[in-house]
């Protein structure tokens, strides 16, 4: 999330927006009682989740003496020796990359011991207490952070599944719960229905009501958008779309097939009348369980243009419609909000003089998943990204490499019905 900008600006001693930090830190300081068997009896998912996701997360403490080194390990590869499928899926997911160069690059410039400032970011990006420690250790070395510390592994399995060396998870697929007689590795697990609840994801994908907002709208509002949608009424949770069949994939705006599954795109054939071409391109949010897109970071560009014999757009004929929530890089204001609520539609009505060189009319929808960050990293580099410079350059390259074409079609302009 863009609080990134604020941190950096605070460091540079320029524009300061401390409100967000106070909120982030306040959220860390409230400490509900830790999860225990008692709090699970007659489970209330809301109460369970409040305790489960308290920030900062408490340290696991000492591992039970009878645990093997493998059972006591917190790194995902260790879990993966037994949970092969989950580990494979997770390794390809953005949750595994939640401490990518864009984030690490910014952390390099924070004081090594300022744990509160680290928490403002890692409470969502790498929340284990053991990760907070490994981050402090890495920053204290005073060199760019290269090594494979636990913090670099982002949202590890234990973030969602382990508290005090006790594993938590859903019931088995057949609904059965484990018993001590099963004699399972890591002493089995505590079953909680909260794992199938959308509120499980809200702890990082939804701001609290008094958190940072622009133009009266929270910067992160995914859970509330979902709750107001028909998907909540139909019982289609975040997990049902983002973890189909319990797979640990979490695909979203960076994945073409996922985005395609969330929208319906339609075009109308070009008509040529009195020397002008007219046509229509529409994008309907038909299957995204929240706004399309939900965050301020992506930008979707729908465009229609006339193309010459080489298939390229002819200058001056292109019309575009941007879908997204555009905000200033310093988060001081909202510039436009054209995101599509569930079941809402964007429509580009094209009408332009017919260019004499035009052969076809092109329709295209492009996705720039990290558009906000591209601008943000550029301005960071222009101001000087300090010790994080190399990482921020990498993050900028990654943000540009993530662009893809979601939809492309072309229709003849000269032959057939369109001819004047
Ligand atoms: C030595 C092998 C082994 C290791 C290492 C291991 N597990 Fe397990 N885990 C199992 C077995 C076996 C089960 C029981 C599966 C069953 O009986 O349905 C299990 C069950 C689970 C469950 C509950 C599955 C369900 O159906 O709800 C979760 C969650 C889980 N493990 C997470 C983890 C995490 C996270 C780690 C690493 C911190 C880990 N495990 C490490 C073997 C292992
Ligand atoms: C501990 C915090 C945390 C929790 C809990 C969490 N997420 Fe995330 N999620 C993140 C962060 C941080 C990212 C961004 C990772 C990155 O790109 O650096 C992310 C990324 C994603 C993405 C990828 C978005 C994209 O840009 O393509 C999806 C989808 C997603 N999460 C869904 C979920 C779902 C569903 C749940 C609940 C089962 C969940 N998340 C729980 C923090 C969390
Ligand atoms: C409330 C949870 C939350 C907090 C706190 C948070 N983020 Fe994020 N962050 C997310 C989610 C969710 C995403 C993925 C969606 C997106 O791109 O906005 C993300 C994405 C990012 C990305 C782009 C993906 C990547 O890995 O390069 C960067 C960079 C980032 N955050 C930096 C920060 C920094 C720096 C801080 C601290 C100042 C911070 N975030 C605090 C939830 C959070
Ligand atoms: C963002 C939180 C999150 C992370 C990170 C995460 N899991 Fe899960 N895991 C879940 C949720 C939520 C479910 C239940 C999904 C459902 O019920 O639809 C689950 C289910 C499981 C299950 C039961 C699967 C089944 O098919 O019955 C196992 C085993 C498991 N996780 C292991 C792991 C391992 C191993 C890792 C790391 C490689 C991991 N998880 C990382 C949230 C997470
Ligand atoms: C009906 C299916 C569906 C449901 C339910 C759903 N999503 Fe999504 N989600 C999608 C699709 C499709 C995309 C890709 C399009 C997009 O990015 O908006 C997506 C994208 C995302 C992204 C990428 C970032 C972005 O700006 O769009 C995140 C994060 C995310 N979902 C989290 C969640 C969370 C958290 C929930 C539950 C509160 C949830 N989703 C519920 C279908 C769903």
pLDDT in tens, 364-385: 999 999 999 999 999 999 999 9
pLDDT, position 144: 65
In Å, what is the CA distance from 389 to each residue of 19, 22, 365? 27, 27, 33
pLDDT at 49 over 90: yes
pLDDT at 147 over 50: yes
pLDDT at 26 over 90: no
Whether the CB of 170 sits within 6 Å of ligand 1: yes
Mean pLDDT of the chain: 90
pLDDT, position 20: 32
Q: Residue 191 — very low, low, confident or very high, per pLDDT cuts 50/70/90? A: very high
Whether the CB of 80 sits within 6 Å of ligand 1: no
pLDDT, position 298: 98
Whether the CB of 375 sits within 6 Å of ligand 4: no
Q: Give ligand 5 pocket residues (Cβ under 6 A).
A: 198, 201, 205, 222-223, 226, 231, 236, 238, 241-242, 252-253, 258-259, 261-262, 287-290, 292-295, 298
Residues of the chain with pLDDT > 70, as a percent, come to: 87
Would you state the structure tokens that stand for residue 209, as one six-digit string? 């009501």
Atom of ligand 4 nearest to the CA of 173: 27
pLDDT, position 4: 41
Ligand 4 centroid distance, CA of 227 (Å): 23
pLDDT (average), residues 272-288: 97
Q: Residue 25 — very low, low, confident or very high, per pLDDT cuts 50/70/90? A: very low
| Nearest in space to 366 (alpha carbons), one of 305, 309, 279 | 305
Q: Residue 44 — very low, low, confident or very high, per pLDDT cuts 50/70/90? A: confident
Whether the CB of 81 sits within 6 Å of ligand 1: yes
In Å, what is the CA distance from 141 to each residue of 113, 148, 281, 392, 394? 11, 14, 54, 20, 22
pLDDT in tens, 59-89: 999 999 999 999 999 999 999 999 999 999 9
pLDDT in tens, 228-250: 999 999 999 999 999 999 999 99
Longest dimension (CA), the chain: 84
Atom of ligand 4 nearest to the CA of 159: 5
pLDDT (average), residues 188-200: 97
Distance CA 391, CA 227 (A): 37
Ligand 1 centroid distance, CA of 167 (Å): 8
Ligand 3 centroid distance, CA of 98 (Å): 8
| Nearest in space to 158 (alpha carbons), one of 118, 138, 186 | 186
pLDDT (average), residues 335-362: 98
pLDDT, position 324: 98
Distance CA 335, CA 215 (A): 9
């Amino acid at each position: 999330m863009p609080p990134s900008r604020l941190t950096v600006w605070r460091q540079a001693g320029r524009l300061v927006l401390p409100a967000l930090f106070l909120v982030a830190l306040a959220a860390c300081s409230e400490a509900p009682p830790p999860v225990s068997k008692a709090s699970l009896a007659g489970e209330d998912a809301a109460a369970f989740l409040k305790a489960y996701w308290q920030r900062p997360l408490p340290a696991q403490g000492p591992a039970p003496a009878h645990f093997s080194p493998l059972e006591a390990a917190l790194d995902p590869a260790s879990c993966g020796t037994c949970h092969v499928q989950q580990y494979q899926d997770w390794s390809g997911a953005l949750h595994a990359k939640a401490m990518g160069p864009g984030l690490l690059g910014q952390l390099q410039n924070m004081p090594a011991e300022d744990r509160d400032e680290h928490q403002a970011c890692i409470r969502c990006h790498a929340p284990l207490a053991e990760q907070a420690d490994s981050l402090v250790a890495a920053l204290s070395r005073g060199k760019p952070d290269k090594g494979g510390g636990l913090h670099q592994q982002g949202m590890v399995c234990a973030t969602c599944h382990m508290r005090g060396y006790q594993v938590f998870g859903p019931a088995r697929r057949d609904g059965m719960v484990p018993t001590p007689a099963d004699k399972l590795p890591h002493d089995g697990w505590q079953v909680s229905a909260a794992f199938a609840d959308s509120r499980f994801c809200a702890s990082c994908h939804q701001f609290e009501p008094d958190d940072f907002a622009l133009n009266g709208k929270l910067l992160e509002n995914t859970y509330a958008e979902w709750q107001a949608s028909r998907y909540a009424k139909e019982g289609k949770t975040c997990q049902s779309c983002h973890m189909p069949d319990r797979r640990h994939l979490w695909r979203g705006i960076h994945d073409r097939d996922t985005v395609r599954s969330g929208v319906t795109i339609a075009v109308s054939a070009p008509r040529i009348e009195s020397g002008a071409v007219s046509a229509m391109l529409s994008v309907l949010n038909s299957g995204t369980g929240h706004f399309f897109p939900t965050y301020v970071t992506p930008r979707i560009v729908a465009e229609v243009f006339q193309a010459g014999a080489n298939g390229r757009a002819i200058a001056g004929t292109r019309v575009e419609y941007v879908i997204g929530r555009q905000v200033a890089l310093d988060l001081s204001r909202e510039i436009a909000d054209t995101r599509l609520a569930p079941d809402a539609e964007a429509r580009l009505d094209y009408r332009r003089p017919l260019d004499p060189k035009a052969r076809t009319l092109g329709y295209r929808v492009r996705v720039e998943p990290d558009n906000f960050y591209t601008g943000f990293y550029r301005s960071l580099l222009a101001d000087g990204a300090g010790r994080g410079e190399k990482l921020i350059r990498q993050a900028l390259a990654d943000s540009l490499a993530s662009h893809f074409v979601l939809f492309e079609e072309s229709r003849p302009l000269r032959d057939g019905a369109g001819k004047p």
